[in-house]
Homo-oligomer: A and B are copies of this chain.
Amino acid sequence: MSTITRDSLSRVGLRLLAAHGLADVSMRRVAKEFDVAVSALYWHVRDKQSLLGAMVDQLLEDLDVAPPTGNRRADLVARAELLYDKLVTTRDAAELTASVLALGTGGSRMREIIAEVSGDTVTTDALMALLIGHATLNQQRMQAQALGLEVDTTTITTFRQALDLLL
């Protein structure tokens, strides 16, 4: 395709993710996409985890976060829903992000987005947990939803209710 950079690497990874799921995002598969030997990737990236980290970073980058309005609760809800939507609409994004956040190889922007309007650590932590927990647990429903044509709003409603309980 194009020349290999950390950026094009994660972009290709995200395309593979959307098209075939996390299981098909392998170093060998990515290398094939660049028409290059697997070992070539290791000059641009330390290991696979680092590539996955870069993918999550890029996923969070094309997220246009509205500036704070001053209404803390509304801002938190808006940003949580923005993030949740991203996790739900991108195939296997929940699992990917959970792994990346757990291992600390990327995705730091997610916490920042929430922390900016949250203020305290406890709420930020709780919201982060709720986000990735909810997105992870609803993976099957999301897969089914991805296959069907209609936009299923059940999972979003449920998340919204959990949010109301927390905030």
Contacts and interface: CB of A to CB of B under 8 A. Distances in A.
A123 B102 CA distance: 25
A125 interface: yes
Determine the interface band of chain A, counting residues with CB < 8 A from chain B: 20 to 34
Contact of A95 (B102, B104, B131, B166): B102
Interface in A133-158: 133-134, 136-137, 139-140, 158
A126 interface: yes
A128 B95 CA distance: 16
Nearest to A95: B102
Contacts of A132: 133, 136-137
A162 B102 CA distance: 18
Nearest to A103: B140
A38 interface: no
A3 interface: no
B166 A122 contact: no
A78 interface: no
Contacts of A131: 133
Given A128-B137, A165-B166, 10 more contacts: A101-B137, A102-B139, A103-B139, A103-B140, A122-B161, A122-B165, A125-B158, A129-B162, A130-B133, A132-B136
